[in-house]
Chains A and B, each alone.
Chain A
Amino acid sequence: MFTQRAAGIKREFGSNVGGIGGGFGGRAPEVITHSGYPHRLQMYNKPPELEITIEEFESFALDRLQVLKAVEMAQLRGQGTDDCRRRINESLSKYLPMHSDRMGGTRPRQIIAERRKDHISHFILRLAFSRSEDLRQWFLRQETALFRHRYREVDSADRQSLLNEISFDLKILSPQEKAKFIEEMDIKGFYPQDEQLFEVDFRRVLDLVGRRQAILRKGRAYIAQSNLATLVINEYQKRLGRALEICAKALPRMDEDERLLPILQNMSSQYGSQEYQSTNAAGAVTADSVDSLTAHFPLCMRQLHGKLKEESHLKHFGRMQFGLFLKGIGLSLPEALLYWRKAFSRMTDDQFQKGYAYNIRHNYGMEGKRTDYTPYSCGKIITTNAPSSGDHHGCPFRHSGQDKLRAMLFHGGLKDSEVRDVADYAQKGHYQIACTKYLELQIQKRRGGGKPSVLAGSQANSGVVIESITHPNQYFDLSLGDGQLKNNNSNGSGKYAASYGSTQNYQR
């Protein structure tokens, strides 16, 4: 391996990333205090100003990327659970350990090195992930989740010094003020009695407001001490979001260093949510054959298909979710127009042409801005556009009532105990695992009831084990291929692993 000095890095960091500035205050061993990394948790306000080797540049960044992927996967499996926490910690201790300076046992030199790596790797990935809105969103989401995780793991002294570092327009209510507020609002018992009450602009604590964990009065949010974490995490997210935009704007001006650019591009191409690439050639499915394939549809699509038959109509997001899914399984535009025309049987041709045909052509990139839209992923279906009255879209594991879900599972041929298992996953928030499990059972039944095998974790008791479902079209392909993807490539897990980073290990 060559060790070339990457002299350009310093300049790039310096010019591209608008640092907000500010030093840390701590009471760690002297050598740490003066190292430039006095604090365990960083807001990453200042870009690193140093020289590193190309080798370090790459390995630091790739290690952090492993952590971010682990964070993403852990969250998918159930945000906030102990299991999630454990998974992130495992990944952190492997790739990006950060020891406390007050616990002892770790040499200051090592602590500084760990923090330096944390600092540098963050900024390299900032560069790598600032080039498109999609990448920025992904990076922001994972980094924020990582920050949240770390904030919860560190001790109160670490938190306190972080708080001192960030300045808010945060007002602490005196005990008298607190009592007066509680009296005026008539809210005895809403806030913990022994905690301080803080008043802050509601825009600083949007998620507390959204979850009604705060009380609003005249645009001010009143929050309990125990919710301060949210405040800090929001501030982190806001600053990082802004910094990424600044970085993106400066990116075109970056010296095109032929040593760095390929590395950066390679990194961002590693990330999760590249959209599903359908391998089904358009035309593989016709309007008439859709109904014969429903056995391979995931529950969300079966539900939409069923409701479409029943009501001869679907509302907007239902049409989007189902229409793009059909496109993904190989329904061509002319066939799609035919299919939807037949499905909306109570409508006149005129109504159909006016109200719906445009949108269908639009989905196929033939109208408007001519984007060739891709089918929705599970992540998108689960987290955006939750269904409201009259809607049938969404993820049944996420958006259906327990009774409706159980009925659906039972209808799908599951035994009582299996229904309970799958519904349990859903109830605990493991929607995609529930879906995976459901498909495993379906395949098992189709094969004539494979022997239950003893397997670890979520796959226990199921004879069939497949990769985690992250996309309705992946479900379809897996179901159709009886657990195997049709177009398996050499590493065995095909396009989904490549797209979602869930099972793939990056080879250095």
Chain B
Amino acid sequence: MLVTLPLVTILVEEDRDSSQTNDERHCSEKGRLFFADNSSPILPAAVPVQDILSVAKLPGIGQVASTIRKRMMSMALHKYLLTTDQVAALDPTKSFTHREFSFTIDNDVYIRYQSFKDCDEMKQEIIRMRPNKIDIGAIFTVQPKHAKMVQPGAFKPLEKELVFDIDMTDYDEIRTCCSGRRGVHCWVCDEQARCLDDAERKAIINYLTLIKGGSQQSKKVILNGNEEIHPHISRSLEIAYEHFDEIVLRDQGILDTEEQWSKLLSLIPDEDTRDTIDKIWQEDKTDSSFMKWEEFEDTLEKKMSKRGSNKQLEFTQKEIVLQYLYPRLDENVTTHLNHLLKSPFCVHPKTGRVCTPISPDDFETFDPFKVPTVVELLDEINSFEDQGADSQASTPDDHNAEPPRHASRLLPDYKKTSLKPYIETFEQFVAGIKKAAVKQDPLAF
């Protein structure tokens, strides 16, 4: 039996009010664009704050100072994993001990199916192996490092967070600004969501996916004209229309040049309409995208009134709006229990930025370029401790020696840095999962 649970809310079509708060994007005139925002008007609307952890995948330094790793990595994460243990029906530590970790070392070699008995062991391994990247996998029936000791069929994934992935590269064909290598993950972590199997995840992603097809198919949204529009689509449309002018016409200027607008034209199945619109646009090429879009709408309207109710044309406009604004979800990440997830708080190997959680409350104000980099973090710790050292004479870096009774020694390293608010967001999220689990009636299962 399912009880009312957080996951469930992601499937809910009701939460209409929150959609109105998503009136933002970070694609400013300066041409910066963060995809959490371009696409968030729809997804977060369906997802309540406390149930979501969004982890930004940021552009980012190959070799990361091992000091940082030693001191900061995985603490909050470990806490999350342990918390889910307490929440899960599993015995108390399985969610950590039976969890797959994957380390990526030099030459992009993945070392998969690692597991650790506790946080200390994990830390030691991280320090020893110096991975460039850490990914998190599923919770398995046996400790992943022992996978080869059991019969082939006995090693199976049991649980994993339900994750939705939006990658910048999937927008290449429609965006006119910014560099790639960015994206956002949406994690749904309550127990029911974690326990969904592949087929169930697949059904959810199919329910949500509107954009389909590879590079050989330019038109990627096709609404079935013979059926009543599904409430999920009509609600998405409402939100998309609200933002279309600003994001698509103003910021992206998708009709500014002929090269751009020909892409849009190719989405109109009716040749006659396509030619008419092209002709109008050709007349004054320098018109703004707003202007052209208005002309497009007018033309469609005229054509529709001429031919009576023409469902296909009516749908064409909706399909185009969705193609430009509906979130492009990476299906494989959501579908497979065995798919690896980038670890929260890991550092992007190129830019050195930390992968941080964002509360849906903060989507409007989140700026990916304000996220601390690993080098900044190291500086911050050092300067924090230098201040301490000034007032304390000396701080021997020896853990066995009696440390001076100073605040800097009592604080965990991450609290000395600009990472603090992100960790707190994460902690609040974890507390939320705990609370949700407590509210459940255990007899409901």
Contacts and interface: CB of A to CB of B under 8 A. Distances in A.
Contact of B217 (A169, A210, A400): A400
B215 A391 contact: yes
Contacts of B14: 184-185, 217
B218 A386 contact: no
Q: Chain B contact residues (Cβ within 8 angstroms of A): what range?
A: 35 or more
A250 interface: no
A394 B203 contact: no
Interface stretch (B24-32, B227-235, B247-255, B362-370): B227-235
Interface stretch (A44-52, A199-207, A459-467, A482-490): A199-207
Interface in A375-392: 386-392
Contacts, number: 125
A182 B181 CA distance: 43
A213 B132 CA distance: 44
Interface string B1-14: 11011011101111
B203 A209 contact: yes
Contact of B172 (A186, A203, A216, A389): A389
Most chain A Cβ neighbours within 10 Å, of B11, B107, B171? B11
Given A203-B200, A212-B207, A354-B108, A217 B214 contact: no
A184 B199 CA distance: 29
Interface residues of A, number: 41
B275 interface: no
B231 A399 contact: no
B13 A215 contact: yes
B122 interface: no
Contacts of A354: 107-108
A401 interface: yes
Given A206-B200, A218-B4, A211 B206 contact: yes
Contacts of B8: 218-219
B210 to A, nearest CB: 9
B336 to A, nearest CB: 11
A218 B212 contact: no
Nearest to A220: B2
A169 B3 CA distance: 13
Nearest to A387: B214
A392 B200 contact: no
A216 B107 contact: no
A400 B214 CA distance: 8
Given A215-B230, A216-B11, A354-B108, A207 B203 contact: yes
A345 B10 CA distance: 45
A389 B200 contact: no
18 contacts: A185-B13, A185-B231, A190-B228, A190-B231, A202-B11, A209-B207, A210-B207, A212-B207, A216-B12, A217-B11, A218-B9, A219-B4, A219-B8, A219-B192, A391-B215, A400-B217, A401-B213, A404-B216
Interface of A: 169, 184-187, 189-190, 201-203, 206-207, 209-212, 215-220, 303, 307, 353-355, 386-394, 396, 399-401, 404
Interface of B: 1-2, 4-5, 7-9, 11-14, 107-108, 169-173, 192, 196, 199-200, 202-204, 206-207, 212-220, 228, 230-233, 328, 330-331
